[in-house]
Chains A and B, each alone.
Chain A
Amino acid sequence: MHLNLGDKIIASGKLRFPVLIALAIAFSALWLIFTFILSSWSTKERQQDLAELVEQVDDQLYQVGEDLRYQLLSSATLLASRNPIISAIQSNNEEALQDTIKVFHRNYSSQALIEQIQIYSVNGDLLANFGVGSTYYNQAPHHDTLYAETDSATGINLNLDGKLNIYAIVGIFYNNTKIGYVQVTKPLIDTVQDVSALNKANLYLFADKAKISKNAVSRHYNQLGIINHWDNFTNLVLMSPIQGNINLPMLADVLDDVMTTDAPDLKYMRDQVGFGDKIFNLALFPVNDIDGNYLGRVLLLKDISADTRSYQVSLTVTSISFGVIMSFIFISFWYFLGRIENNLSESEVKIIQAKIDAENARDEAEEAKKLAIQANQIKSDFLAKMSHELRTPLNAIIGITEMMSEDANETNDENYIEPLDRVLRSSKHLLALINDILDLSKIEAGKMELHPEVFDIGYFINDVKRSCEALALKQDNTLIVEIEPNIGDLFTDVTKLRQVLLNLISNACKFTENGTIRMTLNKLDIDSIAHIQFAICDNGIGMDKNQLSKLFNDFQQVDSSATRRYEGTGLGLSISQKLANLMGGNITVKSEIDIGTNFYVTIPVAMPLTVENTNNTLDNLEETESQDDSTQTDTNLLLIIDDDQHMIELLKYHLQSDSNELVPYAIQTDIAEFRSAKQPSVFIINSLINKQLAMNIIQTLSKDETLNNVPIVVICEELDKQTYLNLGVRHCLLKPINKSNIGLIFSEYLS
């Protein structure tokens, strides 16, 4: 995938917007917290002020009430001791009694603030009554029992008409005998209004509805000429005049709202209650008599409109100031973040460009790799296909050279012996080199096929040993083979294994002089799988670590001088390793300079089968062997079907002997011509001239009843080997064709 810079668009505000949004949220939160603190602090202050005011008013009401109570007590005591009153009571002269208290009221009420004077008999009957409210205070207070028990008493009481009064009552005695009572009374409302003025707060007195008479209250209000407040409040009756900006519905609304409970001992306080355009702190607290009995409540309203307004102004100013500061910070952030963003954008462009370059380079590398693989494949295919073209002329060269060399030896023509040997050696070296290259290319191309078979290891190793003994003796080395007893059989490609072992032994022989090459065979288990380990150990020149690391590389010898000194293509170990791997095994090596080298070839006892190599399984092998037995004949008639005269000559040269009769046929020959009096021992068909004709001949022979049991050997390419084997061909003869491999093959078919 090729990237362009256009794929990455740096959005303007990518950094600025999130940061500023977060900042805005943080500022909002800060502002909320700030407002919350300010508001809480202000509320707390107001609540404390209100609580202190309520406490103060309560104490003042008590103190003023107490003062009044004792003034009333003094007045009542003075009145009770006055002779005119005692005389009037004794003479039962109510008119005189009334006049006396009237005079007394006139003389003392201004000092004692007495509103009403009442004289009662010992039995509680009202004898005289005078005062501002005398016309409607005509009912005896309901504390009758007090008269009988006490000589004097003071307190607060609640009349049936709803008036809360402070009173003092004192016994009137004559010769130590109680003859009546004098009671002086003052309504509490005056005291409440005094305290109200003192504290610059509105105080309203409420009477408890449950303790008073509706009729009496109505009469009282009617006489005062004001509206009856009985129905305006749920549990209370307002007994004070309305003050200031407050009106009755407002008061009723608020009180009904707050009077959710009527628990006498509870105070109610609430700050910032709105009355029209005014704001008040509100408190409601109980009024009890001297024994703690609930009589009513006092409502306190403190106008805090001015304070609230100034608080609101200061809050607004503070908020605006806060907003201005925050805006300034916000704008600053906007500006600086914009600059940071620009810098970041430039950096980001560079980073993205670098990333694009890297991705393009990677794509190119992948393309190159694909091409290289493809080229390698083509090369391998080419080399594999070229095998025939390379080896065919070489076969002719080697074959003819051998032939000429033998002739020269027979004739003892010394002028030709040495040059012909040189040609032969060079040709063989060239052939070995080509074979190695072709093997390697086949392996790399995945076209190397394995043909596993069961064989006896001991027999196989002895065969290998025999092949190598001459090589070992070449540099005065001793080849020793040690085999673990009862090592058994091996199921693998015997040819490839032989190739590997021969390569390793030949290497050992090559790099050792006057030493010992020891081949040891052991059984071992790797991952619970039985393996055979072939250890080829020499005490030759050895290798260092650097050399070891390059050992299995293609065309690699320990050094270039070694290549010159010791012949070789540098492909042997690489091919061996690859072959071992193909067989499911491995080659490892240990070596020390001047001490020697140990190669370990580890091959599974039973080679794992793959699709390619399943054709020659153990059963097929056995079947093949049985066929071999059945086709064994005594005749050695070899029919060669080939149009290549060089090849016919070469075969004739290698196979012709006294016991063999070679009959060449052209490949186009009719099948009928093959039938002769004598059954041929083997057909040799060269498929390299015309593959299709060769195949037709093979198929025809297979169908012929008289000829179908004659073994067929086909000279073919490695690629076609399996095809021919599938057609029933016994053996495929691959190039180069020399005396040894021809002899090896035909020894099975010829007597």
Chain B
Amino acid sequence: MALITRSKCINMFFMSLIALLANNLISTNVFAKTLPIGITLNMSGPNAQSSIDFKNGIEAFIHAENQSKRFNKYQIKLLAMDDIGQTNRALSNAKRLITSKNVLALLTTDISENVADLARLAGNNKTLLLSANHHQQPLNIKDHRYIGFLSQPYSEMFRSLNKTLKNSDTIYVSADNDYDFNAIEDAIRSISLKSVRKLTNQRIRAPKTQKNCTIVFANNVNTTANILAELTKQQNQCQMLILPVVEKTLLQKLLVEKYSDTNSHNLLFVSSVPLHRRNLPLIEEFIRDMKAYSPQAPYSHQALKGYLLAKIAIDSMFQSVNKVHTDSFIEIITLPFQLIDQVVGWVKDPNSNISKTTVVNSFSYLKRYDIGLDKTISVYKDRVLIKKTWLSKLDQQQLITNQIDNKDQN
């Protein structure tokens, strides 16, 4: 009897010790694996707010995903780098994220010609690059394989806006740079022979009574708000078309706080994401996750874009690592080596055993993917994820839901 008790005690002691050791090992960073995704955006200066919203959207989805433990012990981690609005800096950041930080996917809101460089960088390193906006110029076919665009190019977008623009004799375009202006001009000319002009300061300051005109805005939100205020002051009668690149939620806030909305009936908002349709599953999830992540964070269009891109990137990653549970066996086998590594001190990137190429392939094979919109989405050769735009108006300082939805162009 005494022997049995003694042996039981010894067994229990060793079992406890082993359990303790195992628990300790598992809880240390031997097994602490992260799946990093990267983003480089402008988080400094007056135009930082929309980037911060975009980042919040991504963080909200990652937070929900990590809570759900869909990736078992893997934790998704967002590595965000500030490019202070400099395209070169954005490129350096992207390079660091891809080469040094080994991100599995890179997200961007960049609308400039820099996207081509980013695409090339992603292509060279076989990393998935998801952009909230479309690049307006054709990309190298090889690089094209690694990129995905959330919204349509201007050419497609303006094709769906043909009806809206048909009564306008002259179309003015306000853009921050020539690259965007040229792209918008090309897009408008491809659907009609309307007169397209750049919106200059002279034009803004000179009051006009011309009614059959449209002003297209593709600036940052502050510039757009300032120009709109000036035009309102001048009692401009033109139709105002705000393109998706302008953060509408912030603009709307600026308009409500600082300017008269007497001319708000002229304002038309073009959206690449349907934030105003609160009954869609995607939007419900977005609001729920945003609340869980940060109750103070606004439910902006940029945040929704970030949320959507994160969802697509992470679902692509899940397709790649959905067999992570089998890693447990491998980890047990390789545990002694990991321990030796840890004891010796050399550490590798924790996510080094996940293939970036597999993530890209998983993204490329997304078909009939239910993202929570009206219809499923698929990734085709054009790499455009949402081939649809929504047109809305301000009413009682709120975007009218689904009033002038464009037809689905799929």
A-side residues, CB < 8 A to B, are 22, 26, 29, 33, 36-37, 40, 43-44, 47-48, 51, 58, 62, 66, 69-70, 258, 260-261, 263, 265-270, 288, 290, 292
Interface contact A70-B88, CB-CB below 8 Å:
yes
> Is A268's CB under 8 angstroms from B29's CB?
no
8 further contact pairs, Cβ within 8 A, besides A62-B96, A66-B89, A268-B347? A22-B9, A36-B17, A37-B24, A69-B92, A260-B344, A265-B348, A268-B345, A270-B345
Q: Is the CB of B344 within 8 A of A47?
A: no
Q: Are the CB atoms of A266 and B20 closer together than 8 Å?
A: no
- From A22, A33, A62, A258, contact of B20 by CB (8 A): A33
Segment 22-51 of B: residues with Cβ below 8 Å from A: 24, 27-29
- Would you call B162 an interface residue if the criterion is a C-beta within 8 Å of the partner chain's C-beta atoms? no
A-B contact count (CB 8 A): 54
Q: Residues of B contacting A265 with CB < 8 Å?
A: 348-349
Known: A33-B16, A33-B17, A288-B100. A267 touches B346 (CB 8 A): yes
Query: How many interface residues does B have (CB within 8 Å)?
Result: 24
User: What are 11 contact pairs spanning A and B, CB under 8 A?
Assistant: A33-B20, A36-B20, A36-B24, A51-B347, A62-B96, A66-B92, A70-B86, A263-B346, A265-B349, A290-B92, A292-B99
Give the shortest distance, in Å, between A592 (CB) and chain B (any CB). Answer: 56
Indicate which residue in B9, B29, B349 contacts A48 across the interface (CB closer than 8 Å).
B29
Most buried by A among B6, B86, B88, B95: B88
In the complex, A270 Cα to B27 Cα: how many Å?
A: 18
Closest chain A residue to B352, Cβ basis: A265
Are A44 and B27 in touch, CB under 8 angstroms? yes
- Given the complex of chains A and B, what is the CA–CA distance between A263 and B341 in angstroms? 14
CA distance A290 to B92 in the complex (A): 8
Per-residue interface assignment for chain B, residues 322 to 351, with 1 indicating a CB less than 8 Å from any chain A CB and 0 otherwise:
000000000000000000000011111100
A312 CA / B348 CA spacing, docked (Å) = 31
In the complex, which residues 298-321 of chain B have their Cβ closer than 8 Å to any Cβ of chain A?
none
Task: Give Cα distance in the complex from A37 to B349, angstroms.
Answer: 27
State whether A266 and B348 are in contact (beta carbons under 8 Å apart), knowing that A33-B17, A36-B20, A40-B24 are contacts in the complex: yes
Chain B interfacial positions (CB closer than 8 Å to A): 6, 9, 13, 16-17, 20, 24, 27-29, 86, 88-89, 92, 95-96, 99-100, 344-349
- Residues of chain A within 8 A (CB-CB) of B28 are 40, 43-44, 47
For A269, give its contact among B6, B95, B345 (CB under 8 Å): B345
Cα-based distance from A662 to B17 in the complex (angstroms): 112
Check A261/B346 contact, CB under 8 A, given A47-B28, A292-B99: yes
Q: Which residues of B contact A258 (CB under 8 A)?
A: 345
How close is A322's CB to chain B, nearest CB, in angstroms?
17
Residues of chain A contacted by B348 (CB below 8 angstroms): 265-266
> Which residue of the partner chain A has the closest CB to B79?
A59
Cα distance, A290 to B95, chains bound together (Å): 9
Residues of the A chain whose Cβ atoms lie less than 8 Å from the Cβ of B89: 66, 70
Which residue of the partner chain B has the closest CB to A48? B29
- Asked if B20 contacts A37 (CB within 8 A), the reply is yes
Query: How far is B93's CA from A290's CA once the two chains are assembled, in angstroms?
Result: 11
Complex: how many Å from CA A44 to CA B347? Answer: 15
A73 CB → nearest B CB, Å: 8
Distance in angstroms between the alpha carbons of A40 and B28 in the assembled complex: 9
State how many angstroms separate the Cβ of B16 from the closest Cβ of chain A: 7
Contacts of B29 in A (CB 8 A): 47-48, 51
Closest to A154 in B: B88
Question: Which residue of the partner chain A has the closest CB to B82?
Answer: A63
Closest to B99 in A: A292
How far apart are the CA atoms of A66 and B28 in the complex, in Å?
33
Q: Which residues of A contact B86 (CB under 8 A)?
A: 70
A58 to B348, alpha carbons, bound, how many Å? 15
Find the B residue at minimum CB distance from A37.
Answer: B20
Residues of A within 8 A of B27 (CB): 44
Chain B: which residue is nearest A266 at the CB level?
B346
Contact A266 B9 (CB under 8 A): no
Give me the 7 closest cross-chain CB pairs, A-B, nearest first: A270-B345, A40-B24, A268-B345, A266-B346, A44-B28, A292-B99, A267-B347
Q: Which B residues are CB-close (under 8 A) to A40?
A: 24, 28
- What's the minimum C-beta distance from B213 to chain A, rounded to whole angstroms? 40
B156–chain A nearest beta-carbon distance, Å? 35
Whose C-beta in chain B lies nearest to the C-beta of A270?
B345
Q: Which residues of A contact B347 (CB under 8 A)?
A: 51, 266-269
Tell me which residues across on chain A come within 8 A of B345, comparing CB atoms: 258, 268-270
A598 → chain B closest CB, angstroms: 57
Chain A neighbourhood of B17, CB < 8 A: 33, 36
Bound CA span A258–B347, Å: 12
Q: In this complex, what residue of A is CB-closest to B348?
A: A266
